[in-house]
């Protein structure tokens, strides 16, 4: 379903997606399902550091949610 909201009148219209919109939705979902290739060395280093930190936290029995709850 597609929701269209007219800001001026506040009218809300919901309608089924047409063929072109369904085709685009399928393409978007297929693209989102593809694995991402990281080529930026800084982004790769950041992700590796994050994974290492999460591994250390797990060894201590903590999660990132635990740290957020502590304000860290």
Q: What is the pLDDT of residues 8-46, one digit of tens each?
A: 999 999 999 999 999 999 999 999 999 888 889 999 999
Confidence (pLDDT) at 18: 95
Q: pTM for the full model?
A: 0.45
Distance CA 72, CA 69 (A): 8
7 with 29, same domain? yes
Distance CA 42, CA 36 (A): 15
Listed in sequence order, the residues at least 6 apart from 15 whose beta carbon sits closer than 8 Å to its beta carbon are 1, 2, 4
Residue 45's domain spans which residues? 41-70
26 with 46, same domain? no
How many domains in the chain? 2
28 with 7, same domain? yes
Task: Report the run of H or E that residue 4 belongs to, with start and end.
Answer: strand 2-5
- DSSP structure class, residue 34: S
6 with 29, same domain? yes
């Amino acid at each position: 379903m597609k929701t269209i909201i007219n800001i001026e009148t506040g009218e809300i219209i919901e309608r089924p997606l047409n063929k072109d919109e369904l085709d685009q939705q399928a393409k978007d979902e297929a693209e989102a399902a593809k694995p991402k290739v990281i080529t930026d060395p800084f982004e790769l280093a950041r992700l590796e550091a994050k994974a290492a930190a999460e591994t250390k936290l797990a060894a201590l029995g903590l999660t990132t949610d635990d740290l957020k709850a502590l304000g860290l």
